[in-house]
Structure 1
Amino acid sequence: MSSFPLPQLTRASAPLTREVLAVNEFGEATTVSIPAERALTVYVDKRELVTLMTLGANPELLVLGFLRNQRLVRSVQEIESITVDWEVGAAAVKTHEGITNVEERTAKCVVTTGCGQGSVFGDLMDEVDSIVLPEATLTQAQLYGVVNAIRLQESTYKSAGSVHGCALFRGEDMLLFVEDVGRHNAIDTIAGWMWLQDPDSMSGADKVFYTTGRLTSEMVIKSAQMGVPIVVSRSGITQMGHAVAERVGLCTIGRATNKHFLCYTGAERLQLQPELAGTRPRVLA
Structure 2
Amino acid sequence: MTDFFYPFSLELSLVKLTQAVAPLIHEVEVVDEKGRKKIGHIPGERPLTIYLDKKELVTLMTLGGAPEALVLGYLRNQRLVPSIDMIESIQVDWETESAAVKTNGNTVNIEEKTSRRVVTTGCGQGTVFGSLLDDIDQIRLSDTAKIQQSAVYQIVDHIRTRDSIYKQAGSVHACAVFKNCGDHAELLHFIEDVGRHNAVDSIAGLMWLNQQAGEDLIFYTTGRLTSEMVIKGAQMGIPFLLSRSGVTAMGLDMANQVKLTLFGRCSGEHYLVYSGIDRLIQRSADVHTA
Structure-2-length-normalised TM-score: 0.91
Q: Deviations over 1:190-240 (max 9, x none)?
A: 00000011x3xx211110000000000000000000000000000000000
Q: Deviations over 1:152-198 (max 9, x none)?
A: 1110000000000000001221111100000000000000000011x
Native 8 Å contact 1:124 1:218 kept in 2? no
The unaligned stretches of length 5 or more in structure 1 are 278-285
Q: 1:276 to 1:149 in 2, by over 3 A?
A: farther
Aligned to 1:87: 95
Q: Please, which of 265, 279, 283 is the counterpart of residue 255 of structure 1?
A: 265
Aligned to 1:148: 157
Q: Deviations over 1:53-93 (max 9, x none)?
A: 00000100000000000011121111111000001100000
Aligned to 1:280: none
**TM-superposed deviation, 1:101:** 1.3
Structure 1 residues 1-285: aligned runs within 5 Å: 6-134=14-142, 135-171=144-180, 172-197=185-210, 199=211, 202-273=212-283, 275=285
Matches of 2:139 and 2:132 in 1, distance apart?
A: 13
**TM-superposed deviation, 1:275:** 2.6
Give the AA of the match of 2:249.
Q
- 224-233 vs 92-101, which deviates more? 92-101
- 205-214 vs 21-30, which deviates more? 21-30
SS at match of 1:256: strand
Matches of 2:240 and 2:202 in 1, distance apart?
A: 18
Matches of 1:152 and 1:206 in 2, distance apart?
A: 24
- Superposition CA RMSD, Å: 1.4
Matches of 1:233 and 1:99 in 2, distance apart?
A: 36
Matches of 1:124 and 1:98 in 2, distance apart?
A: 18
**TM-superposed deviation, 1:124:** 4.4
Native 8 Å contact 2:113 2:131 kept in 1? no
Q: 1:99 to 1:55 in 2, by over 3 A?
A: farther
**TM-superposed deviation, 1:98:** 2.6
Aligned to 1:282: none
**TM-superposed deviation, 1:133:** 0.9
Native 8 Å contact 2:81 2:106 kept in 1? no
Native 8 Å contact 2:177 2:190 kept in 1? yes
The unaligned stretches of length 5 or more in structure 2 are 1-12
Divergent runs of 4+, >4 A: none
Native 8 Å contact 2:173 2:223 kept in 1? yes
* Count of matched residue positions in the alignment of Structure 1 and Structure 2: 271
SS at match of 1:72: coil
**TM-superposed deviation, 1:274:** 5.6
Structure-1-length-normalised TM-score: 0.92
**TM-superposed deviation, 1:41:** 0.4
Give the AA of the match of 1:173.
E
Matches of 2:198 and 2:97 in 1, distance apart?
A: 16
Report sequence identity in percent.
56
**TM-superposed deviation, 1:99:** 4.0
Aligned to 2:8: none
